[in-house]
Amino acid sequence: MSLEEYLNEIVLPVLVMDDDVRVMGFNEPASALLGCSQDWLGRYGGDALECAYARLPGGCGNTEHCKACAIRRTVTSTYVTGDSKENVPAYQDIVTPGGTCEVRYLISTEKVGGFVLLRIDEIRPTS
């Protein structure tokens, strides 16, 4: 079974992340929910998800806000330790055409080979 086939067997949205928290792949549910497209590939997670802080000087992963980013910390921790995480609360301030809104997530991670699967267990805008 190819990685793409495996990912598409998972009913929840999944992003494949590398050691630098760049999007290396995604499944069909992620594409449907998040609007993932091929132009996401190789982009930092914050850039792909339109994180407001990723637009600051330094970009995704290099701002003061990134140190507290639960998504970045969880993906990095799983990559380094190999320990899976389940239902970790996270949030991002997302830039939308109507302005910035906060989005809350529950995320889970699992290391598979040289990548981390970032599963979005729950997503909900708060404003």
Q: Which residues in 22-53 are b (16+ Cβ under 10 Å) and which e?
A: bbbbbbebbeeebebeeebeeebbbbbbbbbb
Phi, psi (degrees; rounded to nearest 5) at 43: -85, 150
Q: For residue 127, is pLDDT > 80?
A: no
The two tokens of residue 85 are: 């995480």
Instruction: Place 5 in a pLDDT band, splitting at 50, 70 and 90.
Output: confident
- What pLDDT score does 52 carry? 94
Q: For residue 17, is pLDDT > 70?
A: yes
Domains and CATH numbers, the chain: 3-125 (3.30.450.20)
Q: Span 94-115, mean pLDDT? A: 93
Global pTM value: 0.91
Span 27-65, pLDDT tens digits: 999 999 888 888 899 999 999 989 999 999 999 999 988
Q: For residue 19, is pLDDT > 90?
A: yes
Q: Work out the percent of the chain whose per-residue pLDDT is above 90.
A: 76
